[in-house]
Structure 1
Amino acid sequence: MKKLLLALPFLLFWACSQKEVAEIEGEIVNANGKVLYLDKLHTSSTELMDSVVIGDNGRFKLEVEVTQPDFYLLRLSNGKLITLLLEPKEDVLMHIKGPEMSKDYIVEGSKGSKLVKQITDTLNNTKAKLASIRKELNEKKSDPNYSSISQNLLAEYVETLQNQRKFSVDFVMKNATSLSSYMALYQKLDDKTFTLNENDDIQYVKIVASSMRALYPEHEYTKAILHNYKTLENNLSNLKIKQLIQEKGASFPDITLPNTKNKEVSLSSFDGKFVILSYWASQDANSRKQNSTLSKIYKKYKNKGLEIYQVSVDQNEDQWKEAIKKDGLKWTNVCELENGSAMAVRNFNVQQIPANYLISRQGEIVGKNLYGLALEEKVADYVK
């Protein structure tokens, strides 16, 4: 009994000294002598946890105390980084094929980190494909067959966006109990555009928030997503109340884009008007021909309640504005030059250029892709 009592303090000390440590080791090609840092990624800041000078053979080893799943950043002094999702006691093995870090690496021993790599790789591939399509659209502008080429490329652009959205939804539904789904919810195609950005997507936020609240009630990411969900719910509720007040029953999503003076204008700002929603490109011959028809119709019916809200898929500001000036377009023209108005194209499932939708005073779509005399006759039916 006396021996047990003497041993007890040592046992207690040993137990208290045991920590939930995750180890990360591996190699980085062509990074000898560089400093590798390991940061903990908080919701609004980062915290340095460990660092190491990479050896002559490219080898490194880092460790960090982990008590629950959390996001971490592996980064070099050149700013290149890899996001990891670590759990207690994981032994993570990594092979990083160069100082570009996130573009080419293998990770084993961490399920969460592999999921993070999956969603990161998919988004990077989507961004690269969208950039390639935008580049080709720009390069082909002088091609005499640009009209048909642009239609095919635009259809491919929309399909790429839809595929990314489908991947994000499927990923969240399959991995709702993993913190990686938190990351999937908030991925962006660009500074302004989330991969999940429709009102109905609040359901996926709710699924992940409920799962995290059950599994990690005190986690900072749980608190963050619960706050975000409440904000989204309030915004959606206010939107529905606004729609009820307006008694609009609109059958289309809204668009808000900057005009030629960089002032944001919404499609919904023309409530109560008969609106031609027109999609075009400054370098597309058929679009320019359609502008002539629109000008004729607008001049005839603008004082009778007709408005035109024209969305350009251009990415060259000078060409866009020059075409507006040359064609004498007097109505609202908007464009998100950074991405060719990608979300406005996607939300209305535009498959060709030029394209149009006709929206009645009551907010109902009453026509689609009408041109020439057919367009003028349809407008005449509703604007009297």
Structure 2
Amino acid sequence: MNVKINLSSNCTNMIFKKTIFSLALALISVMSAHAQNADECIIDAILNGVPDGTEMEAVLAATHRNEKPLAKGVVKGGKLTLTIPVTEARFIGVGPRNGVFTFSLMTKGGEKVQVSLDAKPINDGVTTGFNTSNVKISGSAMNEEYQTKIGSVRDMLDKMYKDINDKHKKLIAEQSKAYQAKDKAKMKALEDSDERKEMATEQKNFFDTVESSYGKLYSDNKDSWWGPFAMLCTLNYFTKENSKEWNSFSETAKNSFYGKLLNEQINPKGLAGETLPQFELQQVDGSKVSMASCVKGKKYYLVDFWASWCGPCRKEIPNLKKLYELYKGKGLEIVSVSIDKNETAWKKALAEEKLSWPNGLDRAGIADSYKVKFIPAIFLVDGTTGKCIAENIRGTELAAKLAELFSKKDI
């Protein structure tokens, strides 16, 4: 007996639709598995040599501000995964808490980045972090563009600088040894040597190359955010002299995220007339002291930002000592804030300078809150109102201003 099965068109359509629906579900499932949130970037890193349990943080880099972590993670089995909330292109630095960056990269939302590197702890007794080698970064189109535009220039300059130092490493070592021994005769002989003159010529050529290379970098990218970003990540500090480059940027570049950051650096809003932030200082014995307790009852006070390595800062100290002795009995106080990263160097400088007024170490972003762009930076403050009378004032100008203020108070 033959059995004929007749499939109606409705039944056929139902089977067809069911098949299409199943395929669509499967496709959506596959796409979801590979989809990346456009509001975040994922970094998967293999950090050979970084101990398990090391806490790592990702922060915005090259902003010249004290940034809060965007993401945190712990190294496990030599691996680290960070999910960073970011949409537009941002330069990210990753490293241990309160330490130097282990690696940095440009990325944006929707990217899944793979990083691998070899690391060795920095053993200088001061710096928290790692020396790295064999750094490889993939999966980020933004970082590839960064390497093409900026990384290649920095790599070229780094190699040029290293070649000079490698070529003259014996001379450099001899100069360092003579300096430590305070052997002035040896130092002069080395300074007058033909090799030292050759090295000086090469160094001048290097700095000329830095200036021209960076100038071209800024000019080539003047119409996009890459221009302001390039300045932020290649310069350590800014002055009004940088206005020339700033003025060359397009309005699009100026109004970008990095353009606005750069404008804050080149054209900072002054603090004169503003109430200055309060803070706590880490003293030499490790204890903390508040600025409020230091200046309580004072007519005027100075907030002095300095560092052990800053020559102009230390040249200003004798002037501050003279003014302090002259006016401390009349209501003047000085609070010195060191921005030293090397605590040992700071303590050594304190022992040498013998400051007789309150002083301490900035470990809480005090300089950032005062918008300090360079040092020495001295703020003159009204002790009654807490408002800034003058900023970046020193030398004879400071002496004249204090004489004027205290003569008025004496009337």
* TM-score by shorter chain over 0.5: no
Rg comparison, structure with higher value? 2
Q: Provide the TM-score with structure 1 as the length reference.
A: 0.44
Larger relative contact order (C-alpha < 8 A, sep ≥ 6)? 1
